[in-house]
Amino acid sequence: MERLFQRFGAGTLRFVDYLGSVATLTSEAFRSLVTMRPRWRETTLQVYSIGVRSLPVVLLTGAFIGMVFSAQSYFQFHKVRMDTSTGPAVSIALSRELAPIITSLMIAGRVGAAMAAEIGTMRVTEQIDALRSMAVLPVEYLVVPRMIAIAFSLPLLTAMSIAIGIFSGYLVGVEVLNIDGAYYLHNMYIYTEDKDIYTGLIKVFIFAFLVVFISCREGLHCEGGAEGVGRATTEAVVNSSIAILITNFFVTMLLSKIIPP
Amino acid sequence: MIEIVGLKKSFAGIPVLQGVDLAVADSERLVIIGGSGCGKSVLLRHIAGLLKPDAGILRIDGRDIVPLPERDLNPIRQGVGVLFQGAALFDSLDVFHNVAFSLIEHRAAAPKEIRERVAEVLAVVGMSGQENKKPAELSGGMRKRIGLARAIISRPRIMLYDEPTTGLDPQMADSINRLILKLSENYRVTSIVVTHDMTSAQMVGERIAMLHQGKILVSGTPREIQESPQPIVQNFIRGISEERAAQRG
């Protein structure tokens, strides 16, 4: 019994320590954002790496999520002869939940892993120490440009994912499943509101910070050579994904109070 | 002037430094020797401000750097150059940008002057014309030279060398040792070299200090160390293992 309590206590301490290190990194990054000079070159490179290079995978997943959600919605609505409700169902679900979550998880997997691996490798090969020895703060050089880039890119990627998801959902619904195209679009315009889009984009803006701080924290605390880098990469993806899913629930509830659906 | 008083550091409860006392005069060349894992590099990283000790005082030019937060250490770090064991070059940057890194980051010079200073330090380390190469294209010795060029470009007053000859062939090691001497003599920098290579220690050291069991066991000129009556020192410089020393009685 005593051992059980010890394990629980040690686990709790590790968790609190982990949260503390992420919070410290977050506060350091926001402080640096105010105090440091802009690093346009690094930030532009990160926008390219995070935003532009993620575009194919985000568009592909967005398209197929839109297609499958359109088909599934149609199968259910068809039972009660409400086929044309498929349009608004697809657009609202994509705008509020599916595109933000899927895009954020894809970015956590692709970009979060890359951040943890790159910074982790720098850590184990003393490059982080070299930065510090040259009076350059790793947070300013490595974290802040990534933070700006992902906060800028993720909402844009999500907006593109929503757009292609709706378009591909329309193609499946109208061209494949023979829903009346005019009613499909009409109902979609009527029932989809601006706030559906806003809430989705506000959520991914928050998820962007979760991905960057969790992934950079894993890289900066990486230890133990190649094995450590591998561990940091896995932890970055797993922890970012869990944090996105948990935060999504609470942010959704909070936003429903501020912007009623 | 670097003064270290009662420096202690443990990792996961295992003591590494157990009260190091050491003073290094301006322009002095000190070599710290000791067996693998005795804490030489840990001591060097404390002097570079990269690690915080558990206890003790570390003064650089009279100012204790131990209580300083990370951001306040930066002005002191700008006066200290570090050559890391693996050179720690930035993989994503070419040689020019690696060497010019601190000047560019701190906007310490105009672009034209940066180009001139990069060319100057690359000439000093015998690597002229290598500006466009990536670190992955360089050999171990070349990486060390570039690391050295990067460390000296900001004209530091203190140079710290972490195992500068480890992993190099004897000729390249000799070449690096000569560079350390040349930099010390030409620029009058205070040099601290951590090594377990006795040839290197004898060649570059004006004074040698031996770290053993987390403390400075002995300190003196290369000749004094060579003639030290202490068995631990003699076993180390002659390369006699603890097992062989025990067998000899």
A45 interfaces chain B, CB cutoff of 8 Å: no
Confidence of residue B231 (pLDDT cuts 50, 70, 90): confident
Cβ-nearest to A134 among B45, B85, B102: B102
B89, A127: Cβ pair inside 8 Å? yes
- Superfamily grouping for domain B1-79+192-249: P-loop containing nucleotide triphosphate hydrolases (3.40.50.300)
pLDDT one-digit tens code per residue, B15-36: 999 999 999 999 999 999 988 8
Residues in B closer than 8 angstroms to A130, CB to CB, are: 82, 84, 88-90
Interface test with A, best of B60, B65, B77 (most A CBs within 10 A): B77
Nearest CA in chain A to B74: A135
pLDDT score of B140:
86
Q: CA–CA distance from B57 to each of B60, B69, B209, B212, B216 (Å)?
A: 10, 15, 19, 19, 15
What is the Cα B128 distance to its own chain's centre? 23
Query: Average pLDDT for consecutive 10-residue bins of chain A (261 residues)?
Result: 86 91 94 87 93 95 96 93 91 95 96 96 94 94 95 96 96 93 92 92 96 96 91 95 96 90 75
Averaged over B85-94, what is the pLDDT? 92
Q: Which residues pair with B7 in a beta bridge?
A: B20
SS3 content of chain A, % helix, strand, coil (to 5): 90, 0, 10
Q: Are the beta carbons of B160 and B83 closer than 8 angstroms?
A: yes
Interface residue B41 vs chain A (CB under 8 A) = no
Q: Residue B185 has what pLDDT?
A: 87
The one-letter amino acid code at A220 reads L
DSSP state of B35: -
Q: Which residues of B touch A141 (CB under 8 A)?
A: 105
Residue B241 has pLDDT above 80, yes or no: no
Question: Among residues 99-158 of chain A, which lie with CB inside 8 Å of chain B?
Answer: 121-122, 125-127, 129-130, 132-137, 141
- Mean pLDDT score across all residues of chain B: 90
The full DSSP string for B84-153 is: -TT----TTS-HHHHHHHHHHHTT-S-HHHHHHHHHHHHHHTT-TT-TT--GGGS-HHHHHHHHHHHHHT
Q: Is B91 on the interface with A (CB under 8 A)?
A: yes
For B66, residues 6+ apart whose C-beta sits below 8 A from its C-beta are B52, B53, B56, B57, B58
Distance (Å) of CA B54 to CA A195, B46, B60, B67, B93: 54, 11, 18, 11, 36
Which residues of chain A have a CB within 8 Å of the CB of B70? Answer: 132, 137
Q: Is B228 on the interface with A (CB under 8 A)?
A: no
Residue B160 C-beta-side C-alpha neighbours within 13 Å: 25
User: Which chain A residue is nearest to residue B49, measuring alpha carbons?
Assistant: A133
Instruction: Report the pLDDT value the prediction gives residue B249, as an integer from 0 to 100.
Output: 59
CA–CA dist A69, A5 (Å, integer): 46
pLDDT at B248 (0 to 100): 65
CA distance B249 to chain A (A): 38
Q: Quick one: pLDDT band at residue B188, thresholds 50, 70, 90?
A: confident
- Check residues B245 and A14 and name the one with the higher pLDDT: A14
pLDDT of residue B126: 86
Lowest mean pLDDT segment, chosen from A155-159, A205-209, B53-57, B181-185: B181-185
Model ipTM?
0.90
B chain contacts of residue A137, beta-carbon cutoff 8 Å: 70-71, 74
- Which residue ranges make up each domain of chain B? 1-79+192-249
- Are residues B84 and A126, on separate chains, in Cβ contact within 8 Å? yes
Using an 8 Å CB-CB cutoff, list chain B residues near A129. 45, 48, 50, 82, 84, 88
